Homo-oligomer: A and B are copies of this chain.
Amino acid sequence: MASIDERCVSTIRFLAVDQVEKAKSGHPGMPLGAAPMAYVLWDRFLRFDATNPKWPNRDRFILSAGHGSALLYALLHLYGYGISIEDLKRFRQWGSKTPGHPEYGEVPGVEATTGPLGQGFAMGVGMAIAEAHLAAVYNRDGFPLVDGTIYAIVSDGDLMEGIASEAASLAGHLKLGKLVYLYDDNHISIEGSTELAFGEDVGARFAAYGWHVQKVSDSEDLGLIESAIGAAKAETDRPSLIMVRTHIGFGSPKKDSAKAHGEPLGAEAMKATREELGWPADKTFYVPDDVYNHAKLAQEKGALARASWDKLLKGYEEAYPDNARWFKAAVAGELPSGWEKSLPVFKPADGAMATRAASGKVLNALAPAVTNLIGGSADLGPSNNTALKDSGDFSAKDRAGRNIHFGVREHAMAAAVNGMALYGGVLPFGATFLVFSDYMRPSLRLAALMQTHSIFIFTHDSIAVGEDGPTHQPVDQLPSLRSIPGFTVFRPADANETAIAWRCAIEAKGPVALVLTRQNLSVLDASAFPIAEGVPKGGYILAEAEGGKPRAVIAASGSEVHLAISARTILAAEGAQVRVVSVPCRELFTEQPKAYRDSVIPPGLPVLAVEMASPMGWRDYLGARAEVMGINRFGASAPGPEVVEKLGFTAEAVAARLRALL
């Protein structure tokens, strides 16, 4: 009879392929190849408590090769995460706990939504940053409160993606020793052998990034895998890549073939696989009792670890009561009471100020109160105004630093921010120019899908960027970001709207982008305008028509609000009273009750939307009758004010458009 280890591996393999077979859809090859390493990891290393899947000091396991989801669900079933055999039978069905790719929030034990390749790899790097930072901030002698390892299984596809290269380079640079990645090195991608497109020396590449690289020649040799993971854990100065030579579709007639990748094996091949691996021919979704019993040992070990950690936390609470309180609040995602009192109020007398500059002031005002705010820029810190003064740089030498230098790696930055948010305990942000949000889009979308509390700062938000020209002037980015479901975009009109937008961002449950100007804008008087109440509603009456009887409405966001105010003045002189509505956040405005929206934009009135961006979508927000002044071309290189004027964004032009409507 096979050993219990072998029986456990076979159970995982067949639980996985049975799901695929039942669903008539999915990816059997990866689970068949990667089951042994997954088993060794879960059986002997991964610290988890299935009864408390959110235990803060658990290890994290990411299946970056998310198409192998059936493998993960098999593990979650076996190790007590409340995924039942019935759940497995509903693989890839509507409303099931076992969707096609692992979905964070839908399934306990899924640490990150994966499937788009490279994302899991890079989110793990963010988790390792969070772990290292929290450990530095909270751990005390004898109290290793935060001490987790971030494991992942990554695939050829992950390693070909640029985002993984960026993240690997960053992780090596930061010496994130708690990362242990198992590379499912199966030599097969969808189009065939990796020899078709992937001839690089992966091990040498990762060594060049500063990783600790090991090779395991035989994926069926559990001892070799165990030694390698042990050595990787022991190496705390470098992230570890363990290259395991696996065989896609192991045990099946489609072994080592792209045919094993993305479709069910089929009845014939399933039969042959059962024979080959010595598994009962007549049983599907089969878990032998001894396998269940063996899997319980790992669960019990985990529960003990958690109980021991609970004790540790108790001791910590006695020794460091303040720290303990802060730690628990941070991990629970709670904000310190009264934090919002640190928000600055700006005065018109402060002089004109770019919203990026205001954002920098807000960030620095918040940082002492919201101590778990951590982040940085993709090498544009001085332009994005993201530096947290006196907060140190997060580096290999200083894990307590709160300024992260992500390098020119926008995509990995976004994923790392998501990973930090997923790890918990920190409130992460990342920044770049708005036009380069394009580089991050797959991760922004995942943030929205997972509803992570990720904050993105996008400065240089329009053609007013000026001289740098069309490559640096966003036009199409606003509609692109706004089209992502569950993603909230703020484009504040001045320093005070920026402060309130930051308040909303800090309080948000999902991802938020702050879209900020490069150029100076005058500061609106917060005592005269209802900014504090208005911004959280997404749109509000900033300046009522004189006499309170508007004949038309100008709606604008960001810097164009100032154009709207000027146009209002021009028209008022002509006896045409118009209302100025500031719309810092279309998403929030849409969520308001219809009565409110209609009170802001009365259905009977003409309305003109003004925004220096693609006009796409404004009519969806302001009603079908809205006219829109937008930009349907790329920008141009010239001083900002000249570009703005040449493209028609003057107070007089706004007034003229409105006159035509009246």
Using known A-B contacts A445-B438, A479-B480, A619-B620, determine if residue A197 contacts B173 with beta carbons closer than 8 Å. yes
Q: B472 and A100: CB pair below 8 A? A: yes
A641 to chain B, nearest CB (A): 11
C-alpha spacing A381/B117, complex, angstroms: 16
Question: Scoring A residues 66 to 92 as 1 if CB is less than 8 Å from chain B, else 0, what string do you get?
Answer: 100000000000000000000000001
Q: Is the CB of A476 within 8 A of B483?
A: yes
Q: Knowing A94-B638, A205-B209 touch, does A166 contact B172 (C-beta < 8 A)? A: no
Give the docked Cα–Cα distance between A189 and B99 (Å). 43
Q: How large is the interface on A (under 10, 10 to 19, 20 to 34, 35 or more residues)?
A: 35 or more
Q: Which residues of B contact A408 (CB under 8 A)?
A: 117, 156-158, 160-161, 189
Contacts A96-B638, A449-B634, A475-B485 known; 17 new A-B pairs at CB < 8 A: A25-B639, A92-B639, A94-B646, A101-B637, A103-B470, A103-B637, A116-B436, A116-B439, A116-B471, A161-B409, A165-B165, A189-B379, A191-B381, A196-B395, A448-B634, A479-B480, A615-B620
A170 contacts the other chain (CB 8 A) = yes
Indicate whether A163 reaches chain B with its CB closer than 8 angstroms. Answer: yes
A409 CB contacts on chain B under 8 angstroms: 160-162, 197
Shortest C-beta distance, A488 to chain B (Å), equals 14
A349-389 with Cβ < 8 A to chain B: 377, 379-383
The answer on a CB contact under 8 Å between B482 and A616 is: yes
Instruction: Give the B-binding residues of A (Cβ under 8 A).
Output: 23, 25-26, 66, 92-96, 99-101, 103, 113-118, 156-158, 160-166, 169-170, 172-173, 189-191, 196-205, 207-210, 258, 377, 379-383, 393, 395, 405-412, 435-436, 438-439, 441-442, 445-446, 448-449, 466-472, 475-476, 479-480, 482-486, 614-617, 619-620, 624-626, 628, 632-634, 636-639, 642-643, 646
A520 to chain B, nearest CB (A): 16
Give complex CA distance A436, B642 in Å: 37
Copies per complex of this chain: 2
Q: How far is the CA of A103 from the CA of B468 in the complex (A)?
A: 11
Chain B residues in 8 Å Cβ range of A485: 475-476, 614, 632-634
A365 CB, min distance to chain B CBs, angstroms: 22
